[in-house]
Structure 1
């Protein structure tokens, strides 16, 4: 076998003449001869030919290693047989060795930090490292004297004997240990991977279970939703029925004390009249009795004075005694008259209190009558969402019900707009346009001093509903009827909140004029927060409107006591701005503090229009009572009620008024 390989190597020697000469020179150096031995040339050439292909240890060929070990400065004639010391070359080789060692250390560190890897790839990398170390040893042998020479001779002899391995290369790490270590790491990582896969599978199963439970809960909720809605609506209806019964019972009890509405027939005409209850009758009887006693005492007093003036000739002693008796008797009469006056004032105060209760009773009786006559009084659920409860009030063409939102679970106010079936289609369309316009204005308003508009929907061809924020407190009109005069401190904070809502309306991209500020359009919630409502007459100020304002196209609408003089001009089309709301707010402030409206308080709207009451209201007068009203409040009212529209401040200016400033100084 060795002879066959030798013949094979010899046949290929002619193609490797250049490499053979280099090998011969290297051999000559190693054995100390000038020319290579003939019996070693053929085996060496054969070995070179066999290693000309890439080695199995990483693709490094022996010819490349030998070529690297060749020295370009060697003597071609072989005159020198010993390797001379070359300090520069040795230093270069050492630097190359250090660089290769550093690269190997970095490579080892990188391989240690990899978490997942392929074992076959790592084994290949290990062989590459060994080849690199072989090259380092081959390169470093040139500068290390006899040790390198012996090592090179051993390698060549090994190659000449047909051994193709590098058995004498010292390696710091054995391939068997590396493979065993890698296999252990792979086994550990496979174990961890299996563990993680089991955990993932467990989590996936849990997620599937949770998804199934969630789906079951949603299905159950959908099944229970109608039942839950039914139970909730039944409870609300039960409470509302109890409230209705309680309200009617209270009306019956109060009717006995305060009175009731009676019916008078005069031929074919039927009219209603109020009949006072027993309490008011008793109070009126007491007042009548006190009036009779007062008149009797005054007659006695006049008679006493007349007797004193008619006395004749009497002695001084008798005259002095009569005069003393007259003075004493007159003091008695004065004391009695003062006592009667106190009793009369007390009875009048009590009667006034009962009159207020009578007013509330009349409104409640009217509400109950309207509720009984409403077609929505049977606790309907509108739009599959809003459960109607009790009637809050009724206007000209609308009814307002307290309702409960079964979706959002909150109380709301449902305003039911009814169109008269006898109206023409044109009038119906006009009313619908008006309502839709109000909705389009109101739906975009979001402010804590403005009542929110939640929803709008159609009930039938003649009825639609707007859903508003529910304010559980009274409106300002009811407050003023119960307490006509408010303390200035309370009136100030109410007007401040109203102006906060007006400022919001005037800071929008499209400014809004409310145009219908009055006590009935100011509501209160449970916490006393004032909220402006009812935007049915509101005006949107377009961008092209000048500083003087926009044209008033709905002249004649509104509540005349609270409108400024420019709204009553008949000789031209009035121009209005936010100053309309400033005038209305000034009227509200005056009414809250002094208990009456400053202009046309006792007049009807028809009389105000006929007598030009507001047009003549050029100056505001303040009553003497209550005396506790500050001058700052009066000045604020004067600024709001400035007659000349051009001189009157607008909403944003009034909001900066010092009287409305609550910041601590």
Structure 2
């Protein structure tokens, strides 16, 4: 196209357009074209130059790209705005829910605080009431114990005239305590002695006269039997009286507390009267203020004069006894409840209390026990021993003093010398010669020699046989009336290879066989617990 032939105003417009194309961005040129109308200047497509067509295409592409970018940006902006608005809505809703939950929790907290305050007040009231109740119960238990002690002392004073008393006398340079019988017992013994002299005289004259003398002899025999029975009854009662005297003396000279003091152990157990005293412990009757029942409190005290090793050894033994006894749960074994520390040298084990006496009390009271009743006692004792043997334990100290009565139940107690086995039928080396009560121990516990001795749970079977014999005859089968020193010195148990039965009372054949099986001198031939329990005599 020849630019010189264009009108003058067109030339000016074209020059201005070219100038703007080279100086302004393409988007601005496009916007300018959109805004301005140039009716007098129209370029026909057919007449466009290549440069114009390229420019137009570039303008169109630029516009399209811009539009697309603007649309994408708008869409992204709208999406982000919607997401932010949605998030803000969710956040507001969550905040509202949290505030609502906090309000509910705050209400619950206030209710709980009020409930805790009420409970605290109730607990305080309960403690106050409980303290009052405990104080009242303690006072009642103490008053009852004091009344029982008063009656016991009155009975002792009364029986002193009937049985006698201990008196002190001088023997060379020593002051010793001796028992002096009452006038009633002395007179009875003198009368019995006189009758026996008359009987001896009658026996010497029996061949001279068979009429009057023989009748007199029968009368004297009858009177002798009655006096012996009366004297034996008094002697048995005297033994119980001496036992009460000893208990009163032990209570008045107890190490842990004075007889008129009533301390509370572990803020729970009130110590009352003394029940018994061992070598290193004292057993008191106690009252449980929580369970409101009587218990037995065994006080263990370490001697301040003991060496550290001695104290350690004693604590080890007591700890072993507690551990073993605590796991034993059987109707015929005294229950052990807990252990309470009192101070660094004193602690207490809480045991089941038995309302009855021990077997030695009844043996002293009645002298002899009938076979049927004695058998019932042995049957319950066998059940207890069967249980501990099943748990691989040897009691080792079964004796009448360790067999208690609680209503109709026989209870085995005191596991201070017990020994543990690897299995029920195993044996252990015996290393504690001199421990235990000699009258109730078998020969293998006294054997001496270069080879170490072994024992088994048949030690307990021997003890049961001795106790059964003693209940039936009123005397021990071996070493009766002898001291432990004499038994050990003269080897009485070791040399007594066979039990000898007195003529009276007459026992059943099965009973004698059972006792012989329990008191077999040879350990390997002696009954074990299963043979003893399954013996025909015990299964009747």
TM range (shorter): 0.7 to 0.9
In the other structure, the counterpart of 1:517 is 398
- Could you tell me which of 247, 271, 276 is aligned with 1:367? 247
- Could you tell me which of 295, 306, 329 is aligned with 1:412? 295
Question: Residues 484 and 295 (structure 1 numbering): CA distance in 2 closer, same or farther, change over 3 Å?
Answer: closer
Q: TM-score, normalised by structure 2?
A: 0.73
Unaligned runs of 5+ in 2: 1-111
In the other structure, the counterpart of 1:352 is 232
In the other structure, the counterpart of 1:460 is 343
- Could you tell me which of 366, 370, 385 is aligned with 1:487? 370
Counterpart CA distance in 2 for 1:267 and 1:437 is 46
In the other structure, the counterpart of 1:81 is none
> Is the CA contact 2:237–2:364 (under 8 Å) kept in the aligned structure 1?
no
In the other structure, the counterpart of 1:574 is 453
Q: Aligned-pair distance for 1:535?
A: 0.5
For the aligned residue pairs, the C-alpha RMSD in angstroms reads 2.7
Counterpart CA distance in 2 for 1:559 and 1:603 is 12
Q: Aligned-pair distance for 1:227?
A: 1.2
Q: Aligned-pair distance for 1:297?
A: 7.0
Report the secondary structure of 1:637's partner residue: helix
In the other structure, the counterpart of 1:251 is 156
Question: Residues 617 and 267 (structure 1 numbering): CA distance in 2 closer, same or farther, change over 3 Å?
Answer: closer
Deviations 1:86-135 (A, max 9, x none): xxxxxxxxxxxxxxxxxxxxxxxxxxxxxxxxxxxxxxxxxxxxxxxxxx
Structure whose alpha-carbon radius of gyration is higher: 1
1:15-26 alignment runs, 5 A limit: none
Report the secondary structure of 1:646's partner residue: helix
Report the secondary structure of 1:467's partner residue: strand
Counterpart CA distance in 2 for 1:443 and 1:499 is 20
Give the count of matched residue pairs. 426
Q: Aligned-pair distance for 1:242?
A: 0.9
Counterpart CA distance in 2 for 1:493 and 1:246 is 33
The question of 1:658 aligning with 2:536 is answered yes
In the other structure, the counterpart of 1:625 is 504
Query: Where do 4+ consecutive residues of structure 1 move more than 6 Å?
Result: 207-215, 295-299
Counterpart CA distance in 1 for 2:119 and 2:305 is 55
> Is the CA contact 1:516–1:537 (under 8 Å) kept in the aligned structure 2?
yes
- Could you tell me which of 600, 603, 606 is aligned with 2:479? 600
Counterpart CA distance in 2 for 1:634 and 1:253 is 42
The structure, 1 or 2, with the larger RCO (C-alpha pairs under 8 Å, 6+ apart) is 2
In the other structure, the counterpart of 2:141 is 236
Unaligned runs of 5+ in 1: 1-206, 306-326
Report the secondary structure of 1:446's partner residue: coil
1:279-358 alignment runs, 5 A limit: 279-290=184-195, 305=208, 331-358=211-238
Counterpart CA distance in 2 for 1:266 and 1:644 is 45
In the other structure, the counterpart of 1:430 is 313
> Is the CA contact 2:265–2:340 (under 8 Å) kept in the aligned structure 1?
no
> Is the CA contact 1:506–1:652 (under 8 Å) kept in the aligned structure 2?
no
The question of 1:496 aligning with 2:379 is answered yes
The question of 1:262 aligning with 2:141 is answered no
Question: Residues 289 and 456 (structure 1 numbering): CA distance in 2 closer, same or farther, change over 3 Å?
Answer: same
Deviations 1:25-73 (A, max 9, x none): xxxxxxxxxxxxxxxxxxxxxxxxxxxxxxxxxxxxxxxxxxxxxxxxx
Counterpart CA distance in 2 for 1:588 and 1:626 is 16
Q: Aligned-pair distance for 1:460?
A: 2.7
Counterpart CA distance in 2 for 1:424 and 1:612 is 33
In the other structure, the counterpart of 1:100 is none
Question: Residues 351 and 594 (structure 1 numbering): CA distance in 2 closer, same or farther, change over 3 Å?
Answer: closer
In the other structure, the counterpart of 2:415 is 535
Deviations 1:283-338 (A, max 9, x none): 23433554566678789x68x94xxxxxxxxxxxxxxxxxxxxx6xx623332333
Report the secondary structure of 1:403's partner residue: strand
Question: Residues 225 and 637 (structure 1 numbering): CA distance in 2 closer, same or farther, change over 3 Å?
Answer: same
